[in-house]
Amino acid sequence: MSLTEIAVLLGLNLALILGVMLALWALALRLKDVSFIDAVWPLGMLLLALATLPRTDGDPIRRGLLVWLCAVWALRLGWHLFRRWRASGADGRYVELVERQEREKGWSFGKTALLFVFLPQAAFLWLTCLPVQLGQVAFAPTVGWLGWTGAVLAVVGIGFESIGDAQLSAFKKDPANKGKVLDTGLWRYTRHPNYFGDACVWWGLYLIAAETGPGVWAIVGPAFLTFTLTKWSGIGLTEKATHKSRPGYAEYVRRTSAFVPWPPKPAEPARAVAEDAPKPAKARSATPKAAPDTAARTAPRKRPATKSGANPPKKKPRRRNGGG
């Protein structure tokens, strides 16, 4: 495909996802809730991958890998997020966003939902899934070691994210865990295994696409997603709310990697020593302080005797007057 044809392809895909988001915005106006956008996010990427498939003539194996891996990831994650929305209702992050714009700018629910949720999500979604769009364009070369490495990474990411989500769902279902912090399983090694798995999927899809000339430029997709998850709306917003609801979360943050899985840090032994140290220190410091305090209290009693002994002539006249 020529550069013009690629530009037209991407432009039509962007128009398609914008149309879908406008329709969903109308649905949000009726529901007075935008939280379902999270479930739409992965499904929208699958939609663009499928829309690209019949309009390109790239290597069939590469196109199959990109579309099928995207489909497995999107259907699993989309269904998971849809069930969570149906069970939990409106997401507090979106509720706070809408209320803040209404309070500070006087915007209506509809205006805030359109300008802060649905239109930005359309652009971000289209940008993130560039690998499954540009990766289907070129016919040559065939899938090589880089592409198969990417396929393995994507599969690992899907599995990592799926296990992390399953562990978190099981943890939340147990009433005894209310207010507690999940620090077992994958959550022992990273505070956000679902985000890490998500990033692995799209970096894997990028490696599949990067073997082609047009696919190399799709790097902005996974790079933007990683930035979003680690620095913008992912970890930051999630942990801000969690710190307030779970008292032990600060200690969990101290010892656990935020994103890339890593063995947790051990508990700090210095804290236990510091707690016991003040008691013996105070007991030892009390002994030397007692001597000067006692001396200070007894000193005034000796001073009158010292002064009277220092002036014997004054005492002698008093005794003589008393004797007369």
Q: What is the pLDDT of residues 17-60, one digit of tens each?
A: 999 999 999 999 999 999 999 999 999 999 999 999 999 998 99
Q: How many CB atoms lie within 10 A of CB 184?
A: 9
CA distance 106 to 83: 32
pLDDT of residue 231: 87
Q: How many CB atoms lie within 10 A of CB 6?
A: 17
Annotate 48-60 with b (16+ C-beta within 10 A) or e (fewer): bbeebbeebebbe
197 pLDDT above the threshold of 80: yes
Three-state SS for 264?
Answer: coil
Q: How far is CA 288 from CA 218, 278, 284, 299, in A?
A: 74, 16, 8, 17
Which tens digits make up the pLDDT trace of 77-101?
A: 999 999 999 998 888 889 988 999 9
Average confidence (pLDDT) over 296-303? 45
Two tokens, residue 192: 């956000």
How far does CA 258 lie from the centroid of its chain?
A: 7
Residue 266, C-beta contacts closer than 8 angstroms, at least 6 positions apart: 255
- Looking at this protein, which amino acid is placed at residue 84? R
CA distance 238 to 249: 12
CA distance 211 to 271: 52
H helices, E strands: number in the chain? 16, 0
Closest C-alpha among 13, 44, 214, 56 to residue 131: 214
pLDDT of residue 137: 94
CA distance 21 to 124: 12
pLDDT band, residue 241 (cuts 50/70/90): low
pTM, two decimals, is: 0.79
For residue 175, cis peptide bond before it (omega within 30 degrees of 0): no
Which tens digits make up the pLDDT trace of 268-285?
A: 665 543 443 444 444 444
Q: Who has greater pLDDT, 270 or 191?
A: 191
